[in-house]
Chains A and B, each alone.
Chain A
Amino acid sequence: MVKPYPSSKPGFLRQALARTEWLRGYLLLSPTFLILLAAMAAPIVVLIGMSLWTQSGMEFDKTLTTANYENFFSKRLYPLILMRSLKISAVVALTTILLAYPAAYFIAFKVKKHKMLWLTLITLPFWTSYLLRVFSWKLILGYNGVINSGLKFLGVIEQPLEFLLYNVTAVVITLAHAWAAFAILPIYVSLEKIDRSLMDASHDLGEGPVMTFFRVTLPLSMPGVIAATLLVFIPTVGDYVTPKLVGGNTGIMIGNLIQSAFGRGADWPMGAAISVVSMLAVTLAVCVFLAGTRGVRKVLA
């Protein structure tokens, strides 16, 4: 099947392929790369392009203008909701990591047998429908929901508690639950990588368990904490389902604004502009965060 000394064009190609390893690598990679180029990168470029158009009636006015961006920053509502979304996601990332860290620590250091069983058990629910997981928080926190009806049944309260649902706290709780796996796994992996003899050394040198944690374990697990922060923070900024179901009026996030620009409001260029500003804001926040953590680590080191 293989021609030993090909002189034709495909033969030449085959020879080149056999000689250069990276060329074969690129060739193998190309279908995947091209699909993502066409179905992810190009659409985002088009999105940026469209944000410079304007909507006039049912048509697009294709003259390039920054009108949508001026509109974004001249109204108080848009920046307000964008800032709120960033704040909510930051709090969510922090809460999720604070809740997940001890559990990841337990599995990494205290569990000896069946580590994988614990990990699978703790991450299993996150493969199930996001929609249903968020919705069940609405059932739990609702006016006639599980908590209120349960407390009423037990005689603890007379009237249902109204502050449970439709506010920022409900959004934070729901998201901290929905994204837990994205915090546990990276933190667990970074804890598992830590060389145990370093902790022994710290102990032998007379540090207590608390100081050992803060001076050895925590700094060494920072890569996992940083990865977890990004994996929770970035996607939750654009979440649409959670604020819609449990956020009420005070819990509206930027994703809801984007959706409404593409739904009933039907101002696609404006929606594109909101998306672009959000992406830039998220990128900026991430850069500030990474620079900040780098600074802190330098101070500690």
Chain B
Amino acid sequence: MRISGRYARRQEGAGVTVAVDTAASDRMAIDMESGITPSKWQRRKTRFGFLGSYTVIYLGFIYLPVLLIPLFSLNDALYVAFPIRDFTLDWYREMFAHENMLAALKNSVKVGLSAAFISTVLGLLAAKAFTRYRIPGAAGLIGFLSIPLVIPLIILGIALLIVLSRSGIELSLFTITLGHVVYCLPFAMFILMSRLEGFDKSVEEASLDLGENAWMTFWRITFPITLPGIIASLLLTFTISFDEFLLAFFLAGDELTLPIYIWSQLRFPKKLPSVLALGTMILTATFIMVTAAELIRRRGTGISSPGIR
């Protein structure tokens, strides 16, 4: 599948395979085939060595702070400190007793679902426009649509806050959703663009040639092929919105989302353990969703469903 377009030249007689390709996976296949590594450069690569050890330490640096949260959510003591004397599940029980927390959770889910749905639909339209049509100034437009990725969120937040308050729109869950849609859009667009770039345009053209109209072609060809990308986009944009704090902080009215609730609780040392318990639940849910998104996105590209190259 991936070998097409890249070359692997086999020198007959000597039985040595010389790889001239760029993809690591192709080279690997050749390595295993001949049992001889193609070059000294590549032979050096087989060692785990210094870089491997460094990467494992680096992984430790990345995971340590994240894993401390579940660890101390089970800690019997009020303070986050070693040694941990005893473990308990009390903080989880206490957490569910907070009505404000449950309300904030519900709000976050509402905002997350709406933001995920809207940004994925808008991202799909943009991705289809960029991958299917030759548009004058496409590079500039893609640049414009990815500004939310690089602009400091605090500036986006206050700019929206000013416009909303000047036009007399009251802050609510709706305004948070609006902010999140802007922020999630480039993520959705890029996920869907990479998905749409991967499939054969001629299938759509064939459908149109065979007399289906554009709408039916979309439903029967484009949509099923894009579906894994759509699901991945929905899951990831939901996760982004669900965890987003800064925009929500500026754009929230009376109803709070979960990150704002957590922020308000961080000031009280006594509430800390139940915040950690809540954090653990959020971490677990996020891990599951992101892993699912990744699996769906990749499984989608791996399977040779019709039209995928």
Give A residues with C-beta under 8 Å from B. 1-2, 21-22, 24-26, 28-29, 31-33, 35-36, 39-44, 46-47, 50, 99-100, 102-103, 105-110, 112-113, 115-116, 118, 120-122, 124-125, 127-133, 135-137, 139-140, 142, 144-146, 148-150, 153, 177, 180, 192-197, 199-200, 203-204, 209, 230-231, 234-235, 237-241, 245, 255, 258-259, 262, 268, 271-272, 275, 278-279, 282
Q: Which residues of A contact B58 (CB under 8 A)?
A: 99-100, 102-103, 122
For residue A278, which residues in chain B have a CB less than 8 angstroms away from its CB?
Answer: 152, 155
Q: How far is the CB of A279 from chain B (nearest CB, A)?
A: 6
Counting chain B residues whose Cβ lies within 8 A of the other chain, the interface size class is 35 or more
* A128 and B282 in contact, given A39-B181, A234-B150 (Cβ under 8 angstroms): yes
Question: Which of B44, B162, B294 is within 8 Å of A46, CB to CB?
Answer: B162
- The CA-CA distance from A71 to B55 in the complex, in Å, is 48
Contact status of A144 and B79, CB under 8 A, knowing A43-B162, A122-B62: yes
Tell me if B182 and A39 are in contact (CB < 8 A).
yes
With A29-B130, A127-B286 given, can you name 17 additional A-B contacts, CB distance below 8 Å? A28-B132, A32-B122, A40-B151, A43-B163, A47-B158, A107-B55, A112-B46, A116-B294, A125-B66, A128-B286, A130-B244, A135-B266, A136-B65, A196-B22, A240-B246, A241-B246, A278-B152
Contact B155 A127 (CB under 8 A): no
Q: Which of A29, A103, A203 contacts B41 (CB 8 A)?
A: A203
Known: A127-B239, A153-B83. A137 touches B65 (CB 8 A): yes
Stretch at the interface among B88-96, B133-141, B198-206, B226-234: B133-141
Evaluate contact between A271 and B135: CB separation under 8 angstroms.
no
Q: A22-B136, A35-B122, A39-B181 are in contact. Are A146 and B68 (CB under 8 A)?
A: yes
Residues of A within 8 A of B4 (CB): none
Contact pattern, B 152-169, Cβ under 8 Å of A = 1, otherwise 0: 111110111111001000
Give the interface of B toward A (CB within 8 A). 19-22, 24, 27-28, 39-42, 44-49, 51-52, 54-55, 58-59, 61-66, 68-69, 72, 79-83, 122-123, 125-126, 128-130, 132-136, 141, 144-145, 147-156, 158-163, 166, 178-179, 181-182, 185, 189, 213, 236, 239-240, 243-246, 250, 259, 262-263, 266, 279, 282-283, 286-287, 290-291, 294, 298
Q: Quote the shortest CB–CB distance from B257 to chain A (angstroms).
A: 11
User: Contact at B125–A113, with CB atoms within 8 Å?
Assistant: no
Partner of B135, one of A25, A148, A245: A25
Q: Which residues of chain A come closer than 8 Å to B147, judged between CB atoms?
A: 36, 40
The B interface is mostly helix, strand or loop, or mixed, namely helix
Q: Is the CB of A44 within 8 A of B52?
A: no
Contact of A113 with B28 in the complex, beta carbons under 8 Å: yes
A24 to B218, CA, bound (A): 14
Are B125 and A29 closer than 8 Å at their CB atoms? yes
Which residues of the partner chain A approach B144 to less than 8 Å between Cβ atoms?
A: 33, 36, 41
Known contacts A40-B147, A125-B63; decide if A28 and B128 are in contact (CB<8 Å).
Answer: yes
CA distance A241 to B247 in the complex (A): 12
Kindly state the separation between the CA atoms of A183 and B136 in the bound complex, as whole angstroms: 31
Q: How far is the CA of A105 from the CA of B98 in the complex (A)?
A: 46
15 A–B contacts from the bound complex (CB under 8 Å): A24-B133, A29-B135, A31-B125, A36-B182, A40-B159, A44-B159, A103-B59, A106-B52, A127-B286, A129-B243, A133-B66, A145-B80, A203-B40, A234-B150, A235-B150
